[in-house]
Structure 1
Amino acid sequence: MSKLRWPHLAGLVTATAALVLGIAVVPANGAGGVSATFTKGSDWGTGYEGKYTITNGSPTARTSWTVEFDMPSGHRVSSLWEGSYTTSGQHVTVKNTWNGSIAPGASVSFGFNVAYSGAFTAPANCKLDGGSCSATGQPPTDPPPTDPPPTDPPPGPGGNKTLGYFTQWGVYGRNYHVKNIVTSGSASKLTHINYAFGNVVNGQCVLGDIYADYDRAYSAAESVDGVADTWDAGALRGSFNQLRKLKKAYPHIKVLFSFGGWTWSGGFGQAAQNAAAFANSCYNLIEDPRWADVFDGIDIDWEYPNACGLSCDTSGFAAFKNLSQALRNRFGAGYLVTAAITADGSNGGKIDAADYGGASQYLDWYNVMTYDYFGAFNAQGPTAPHSPLTSYPGIPQAGFNSDAAIQKLKSKGVPAGKLLLGVGFYGRGWTGVTQSEPGGTATGAAPGTYEAGIEDYKVLKTRCPATGTIAGTAYAKCGNEWWSYDTPATISGKMSWTRSQGLGGAFFWELSGDTANGELITALRGGLN
């Protein structure tokens, strides 16, 4: 259940359909018009993503807007971004937040997820600023006044944390940069980002890749805000600066700096020997004046306390709790302090090896790594889904499933609201397989773009489409290869389970594994609401 530091990790979405409804308002001067166009995006059978685009076709700048529409029976808006909304029965009213200004010829938009039963039906009776949403409608002379926009979008209810990992090495071979979070539509759906990874050396937090972190110069075309980096003395560059720009554009997103991971967990044992000194080093690094405004907290990815990962740790049952307490003491209540933890739910397994129950009082939440249970690290198989939600007959090892891990953590006193379910945006696969169903033998790891046995969802969805499901996740047999991975449909099911368990939300590893239009994060976010 590990996240490797080197580049390796990465549903089926129904075809998106553009569905344009009537739209627009003509200003009193009659020159041009202001329109609001509805577009239907991804649909996963029990919900879909919608968007209204407000376009100013008049010669006069707009300073605010209000869009109203009616949802059909059995349909409800479950979440909305880039706008502030209220509902009265099936009637939905959306007002601008930070995006009220629309220059002549420009457009702004807001997106939303809809949960529905039965057949899809588009919203109806659209109004823009009280007038018709078609370009021939006549609005009031001036748009109605709106409340001052809040600094951030209104926070959603508990239980819908949506956290994605951004890997610092993704800027190399994967060519995935912070701007891709925006262009994929993921930025509006994320609540938190974990920047992975910082290293732990000599008992201290240290940077892992200075060039990627804060030195790489981004051109205007590569940059989130279209402004190129400079080489002026003291200027911040790299992913840190891009994250700063992302947060300015999407102020609801919180960014945590994650330390450790599979490759860099070996230093935690020494760090635990002087937990206060370790915590102080982490605080000083995150609060470095050059990027102090970028990070909202720290995440510890220790694989694994008092157990074996890439190396074996013998720091003792209490070490993780002591480290967590020291971090909270140093960072205080104003910062997020979280941890990515094992999902080994077996009796006497890794969850039992450390005091996760006691440590939880000091942490905001756990990212429970409910993936990588099975894979071609066992080259001959048996084939098995790497991220099973539940157990199933023939599972290779008892306790190696999400439900077992979550129930064990609850039994140790960890509040459900402090548990986030993990989802992999990648698959694991074998080659030399003849059996379609799980449980077959293999001859080795299937080929992967960056590492054998691992492939991004965005590749697998067409290279080896899913042929079946088991234990809440999907698998695929193509030629002599066998893969398991999550699809939009299985993610939707996992999020329903997450809600039923009262969990705090979900997280995923990692952003670059998704499609260019964010199929998986759309299903994940939609399923949490």
Structure 2
Amino acid sequence: MRESTTGTTARPRPGRGRRRLAGIAAAGALLAASAPAAQAAGVTADHRGTPGGGKVAIGFFTQWGIYSGFFEKNLIADGAAARLTEINYAFSSVSADGQCVSGDSWADYQRPFAATEAVSGVADAPGQALAGNFNQLRELKAAYPGLKIVISVGGWSWSSHFSALAATEAGRQKFVRSCVAQYIDGDIPGLPAGAAKGVFDGIDLDWEYPNEPGDNNPYGPQDTADFTALLQDLRGALDTAGEASHRHYLLTADTSPNQYAAARQLQLKNASRSVDWYNAMTLDFHGGWDSTTDFAANLFPDPNDPQPADARFSVAQSVAYYESQGVPASKIALELPYYAHAWTGVGATGDGLYQSATGPAASDQAGYKTVVTEPGTVHFDPVTASVWKYDPASQTFWTYDDPRTVFAKGLYIDLKGLRGASVWSLDGDDANGSLTAALATALRR
């Protein structure tokens, strides 16, 4: 196997206009480069799980991660539990009759955890009321009282029934009642009443996507208003539940960053009145489905981007669109990728960026911890505040975030007055939690 080169190069840029934008990006890049020094100096998130300035730092924990050995206790070992304000558990499914339902009851609340797997270091007892991930999340909250746990409902694979259930008031109310009963009241079917009460602090609606097919889902123009109505109904039910317990339950929504398509199907201003914030999914801008290599989650646009006008994306452009639609900055959180998109068949000329490819590489969507071990040269682009890796021997190109770019995005969030960031997903980080550490450090400035 070829050894990875260790050098990091900055892509040479020709002269161009829009110098102010490039200057801002370069400034952000210089600040990003200071991240390791800041961490070495001890600028880290405190152990209450709350970065300074009231920013949210949210990590998605995948339901299925335990099958590959990534447990809740890993979040203690890599420091994420101490640095995050919230964990979003992905996902709850939605049944054909439009109700919240477990997509994997074994992983969610049935699987017994051994002492070596458990947050507490104590094995689950036979016959205990709640086991699985839900019980481990409860143990994690006990260890980190400032940490919120939110159930994320839907996602790419389980959004097929949203359009139908949201189409009527009766359907929306049925869905809302089922979600609150299970995840707020803790009444899990087959378990003692209230067995999961206190695990979750709110609901994250991940409908992918209103009036867009997503994973070949039913959709229609009625989804636009129905999405707003569904959030209103969820907000009302969570407020009612909160009145009884004298607390505020969170309501967030994962929404598209695409100002040319999916984001235009949302009543962003009206719907924002119901949510605590949006998790704008500023990732997957480009990937192996494109014939040309490009950035998947660049912070700033590149004036030299060869894509057509309606396929040029950046985090900054998405934020500008949300704000133009009347969404307050305080209700925008940016979602960051802890994984790469990768192309193969990228000709061995130049540095691989904006080159034709034959398709996605086998390592497409590999986590950051895997990508950094792949052979190739890492390049840094100061205009977009992005990195990529290119290996001419295998003709493979990866676009991803590293601690520098995550730190730069954290600074951008702070400077723009945004609510914070979410990350997909925590199992993609390395054993030292390098990405989460960089994000938490930036949000404390």
Query: Fold-level match, TM-score > 0.5?
Result: yes
1:17-76 residue CA offsets vs partner (Å, 9 max, x unmatched): xxxxxxxxxxxxxxxxxxxxxxxxx9734511566xxxxxxxxxxxxxxxxxxxxxxxxx
Identify the residue that residue 345 of structure 2 maps to in structure 1: 432
In structure 1, list runs of 5 or more residues that go unmatched.
1-11, 15-41, 52-76, 83-152
Which residue, 175, 189, 195 being the options, matches 1:290?
195
5+ long unaligned stretches in structure 2: 1-5, 9-32, 188-193, 243-247
Mapped contact 1:345–1:399 kept (Cα < 8 A):
no
User: By percentage of residues, which structure has more helix?
Assistant: 2
Match of 1:44 in 2: 35
Counterpart residue number, 1:96: none
By how many angstroms is 1:357 displaced? Answer: 1.5
2:396 is the counterpart of 1:501: no
8 Å contact kept, 2:84–2:147: yes
Structure 1 partner of 2:298:
388
Correspondence for 2:153: 259
How far does residue 398 in structure 1 lie from its aligned partner after superposition? 3.9
Instruction: Say if 2:243 is the partner of 1:330.
Output: no
CA change 1:445–1:398 in 2 (3 A) is closer
Name the CA shift for 1:466/1:280 in 2 (closer, same or farther; >3 Å).
farther
Match status 1:511 vs 2:426:
yes
Structure 1 residue 443 corresponds to structure 2 residue 337? no
**Separation in 1 of the partners of 2:433 and 2:82?**
11
**1:311 Cα deviation from its structure 2 partner:** 2.2
Shift of 1:356: 1.8
Q: Give the equivalent residue in structure 2 for 1:321.
A: 228
SS at match of 1:166: strand
User: Larger deviation: 361-370 or 428-437?
Assistant: 428-437
The CA RMSD measured in Å over matched residues stands at 2.0
Classify the secondary structure of the residue corresponding to 1:246: helix
For the pair 1:476 / 2:401, whether they are aligned, the reply is no
Q: Which moved more, 1:398-407 or 1:295-304?
A: 398-407
Please report how far the alpha carbon of residue 367 of structure 1 lies from its aligned counterpart in structure 2 after TM superposition: 0.7
Are the aligned partners of 2:159 and 2:207 in contact in 1 as well (CA < 8 Å)?
yes
In the alignment, which of 72, 79, 82 is matched to residue 188 of structure 1? 82
2:214 maps to what in 1?
A: 309
Higher relative contact order structure (alpha carbons within 8 Å, sequence separation ≥ 6): 2
- d(CA) in 1 for partners of 2:90 and 2:107? 11
Runs ≥4 in structure 1, deviation > 3 angstroms? 153-159
Amino acid at match of 1:175: G
The CA deviation at 1:317 is: 2.0
Residue of 341, 345, 348 corresponding to 2:255:
341
How far apart in 2 are the matches of 1:493 and 1:363?
26
Tell whether the 8 Å contact from 2:45 to 2:441 is kept in structure 1 after alignment: no
Q: Tell me the equivalent position of 2:163.
A: 269
> In structure 2, how many angstroms separate the alpha carbons of the residues matched to 1:193 and 1:509?
11
CA contact (8 A) 1:320 1:356 kept: no
Q: 1:137 — aligned with what?
A: none
SS at match of 1:170: helix
1:408 counterpart SS class: helix
Letter in 1 for 2:125: T
Worse overlay, 467-476 or 426-435: 467-476
- Distance, in Å, in 1 between the alignment partners of 2:37 and 2:319 is 25
Aligned residue number for residue 363 of structure 1: 275
1:364 counterpart letter in structure 2: D
Deviations 1:106-162 (A, max 9, x none): xxxxxxxxxxxxxxxxxxxxxxxxxxxxxxxxxxxxxxxxxxxxxxx4955545211
Q: Alignment partner of 2:81: what SS?
A: coil
Deviations 1:365-413 (A, max 9, x none): 11110001111123xx210011111211225244522111111111111
CA distance in 2, matches of 1:421, 1:46: 24
CA deviations over 1:301-340 (Å, ceiling 9, x no partner): 1111112211252133211110100000111152001011
Amino acid at match of 2:163: G
8 A contact 2:46–2:82 mirrored in 1: yes
Whether contact under 8 Å (1:167, 1:196) holds in the other structure is yes
Query: How far apart, CA to CA, are the structure 1 residues paired with 2:270 and 2:34?
Result: 41
Distance 1:44 1:181 in 2: 21
Query: 1:252: Cα distance to partner?
Result: 0.7
Letter in 2 for 1:522: A
Q: Is the 8 A contact 2:49 2:83 kept in 1?
A: no
Compute the TM-score of the two structures, normalised by the length of structure 1: 0.70
State how many pairs are aligned: 384
Q: Which residue of structure 2 lines up, in the alignment, with residue 456 of structure 1?
A: 367
Q: Which amino acid aligns with 2:294?
A: A
* Worse-matched range after superposition: 202-211 or 396-405: 396-405
Counterpart residue identity of residue 39, structure 2:
Y
Look up the match of 2:190. none
**1:281 matched to 2:178:** yes
Change (3 A) 1:180 1:238: same
Quick check: 2:49–2:144 contact (8 Å CA) kept in 1?
no
Percent of residue pairs identical: 37
CA distance in 2, matches of 1:510, 1:265: 19
Aligned partners of 1:316 and 1:272: how far apart in 2? Answer: 8
Closer, same or farther: CA 154–204 of 1 in aligned 2, 3 Å: closer
Say if 1:429 and 1:487 are closer, same or farther in 2 by CA, change over 3 A: same
SS at match of 1:382: coil
Q: Is 1:168 matched up with 2:63?
A: yes
1:246 is matched with: 140
Corresponding letter in the other structure for 1:330? A
Bigger CA radius of gyration: 1
Indicate the residue corresponding to 2:130 in structure 1.
Answer: 236
Distance of 1:262 and 1:395 partners within structure 2: 29
The correspondence for 1:204, drawn from 74, 99, 109, is: 99
Q: Structure 1 residues 310 and 160 mapped into 2: Cα distance closer, same or farther (>3 Å)?
A: same
Displacement of 1:465 in angstroms is 5.2
- Say if 1:422 and 1:484 are closer, same or farther in 2 by CA, change over 3 A: same
Amino acid at match of 1:354: L
CA distance in 2, matches of 1:300, 1:443: 36
State the secondary structure of the residue aligned to 1:178: coil
Measured in 2, the distance between the counterparts of 1:280 and 1:166 equals 24
TM-score (normalizing by structure 2):
0.82
Aligned partner of 2:22 in structure 1 is none
Q: Paired residue for 2:191? A: none
Q: Distance in 1 between the 2:272 and 2:255 partners?
A: 11
Structure number having the greater strand percentage: 1
Q: Distance in 2 between matches of 1:420 and 1:168?
A: 22
Aligned ranges 1:25-40 → 2 under 5 Å: none
Partner of 1:19: none
CA distance in 2, matches of 1:491, 1:48: 13
Equivalent positions of 1:518-529 (< 5 A) are 518-529=433-444
Distance across 1 between alignment mates of 2:375 and 2:155: 29
